[in-house]
Amino acid sequence: MNRYFFWISLLVAILLSGCSSTETASDEPDRSGFPNIVLIVADDHGTGDLGCYGNQAVKTPNLDYLASEGIRFNNAHCTSASCSASRSVILTGMYNHATGHYGHMHHFHHFRAYDHVYSLPVLLEELAGYHTGRIGKYHVAPEEVFYFQEVMQANQRNPVAMADSCISFIQENQNHPFFLYFCTADPHRSSALSDQPLAPDAFGNVEGGHVGVEETYFTTEDVQVPPYLPESKACREELAQYYQSVARVDNGLGRLFGHLKDAGVWDNTVIIYISDNGIAFPGAKTTIYQPGINLPCLVKNVEGSNKGTVTNAMINWADLTPTLLDVAGVLPGAKGKLKERYESEKEDMFTTINESFHGRSFRPVLENTEIEGWDETYASHTFHEITMYYPMRTVLNRKYKLIWNIAWQLPYPSSTDLWASSTWQVALKGGSGMYAGRSIEDYMQRPKFELFDLEKDPWETRNLAEHPTYTEDLELLKKKLHAFQERTNDPWILKWEYD
């Protein structure tokens, strides 16, 4: 008798299971053909420090391979050269002066986005049914806003271990669209300051190397000192450490690419590689000078369309979220396969997000790398650390760049690690009064407006704001900056009236 009831119960369970799966299949939108998305964000990696961008000293064969499989952007920019602030823009499509995520979220800094903000992983899950997962550096808040369904764990300084920790996530989603947010802590400076004065920072490197990583080592003679950094033994020592950290990122990405290929999802995966801000040296990170905001951006399209090409379209990180939603078929008019019924169910969210984005989808650039109309971009920086209040707003085009230093009466603040760096301290104590092509005095005490001719002065050493020849250009750029602040709800727009 017990055996009879067992088999009846089993049969009923099977039938119910079949009904349930049928209902689920009919209720779910058709996601066949949706591409997977892998967004890779390195920490403090400058544009000049990849082989595919012309640096033959640093070793980045896997990133160079990604460039050969995709599109290399020469004019991609973050909007704030600070870790947390930049990441909040990457994941929302909004400038942080409008989301409240003005600077670092950790410890006593405690910046965070407003609760009503929608983030990329939430939108991909809610509007397109993606499975979302993240690994590595997070550095945004609150988690309810920047929610991922799955969080993988690994040493953030070991990109190889990070890649291996993603294997299950990738394999479990072979037949379902997924969004993987892969963020290394390299090549950021090491968190602890050295107890040896003027010693080079380790940039996350450890004696004997990280487990499973084929470490690449560099000498002071191997590195290339860019024009925005000082030519000194201290700088070269730190660059050698930084290069090793960059090479470690590359090594881990080679492992990640292998896992995507092994799972059979490489061809149907859009891969984007960027950095949150420029290299962690004075003159780059935390500034809105070009070394701080002009960053690497490599994009592999589905099935490799436009592979091995280069574009000069000017984009910024506020464009990333709308672009990836466009790729996933979420934006109005997108070419994806989202059902109308599914869109209507989420109509309120659908309308809200598309009205709130400050960036725009650069999917047209992915389809036509020589497309016109991408000739201007903006940046907005307010904080790095809580003690580093120095709001700057920037507009730049093909020729000119205007920086409005809103708190120009204050000395320019430096982050703890950059101030203590041997590169800065040697320059500060060296007696020349210069840091690369700029005087230390000018670096520390900046004027209200800085206007640069990027064609003639790419390293931004000659301020033209007070030159009568450029008065008309200056006024035009001021108007553009004011209009930008209006349309992005920037509270600091009031400073035009009360300064």
As annotated, the active-site residues are 83
Which distant-in-sequence residues (6+ apart) come within 8 Å of 326 by Cβ?
A: 334, 336, 361, 363
List helix spans (H) across 263-339.
290-293, 320-327
Question: β-pairing, 294-295 with 297-300?
Answer: unpaired
Give the separation between CA 50 and CA 247, rounded to whole angstroms. Answer: 9
Backbone CA torsion sign across 310, 315, 319, 322: negative
DSSP state, residue 51: G
Sequence length of the chain is 499
Position 199: which residue type? A
Give the separation between CA 127 and CA 121, rounded to whole angstroms. Answer: 10
Q: What is the crossing angle of helices 233-262 and 422-429, to 10°?
A: 160
Give the separation between CA 372 and CA 87, rounded to whole angstroms. Answer: 28
Q: Could you give the angle at the alpha carbon of 403 between the alpha carbons of 402 and 408, nearest 5°?
A: 145
Burial class from Cβ neighbours inside 10 Å (0-12, 13-18, 19+) for residue 475 reads exposed
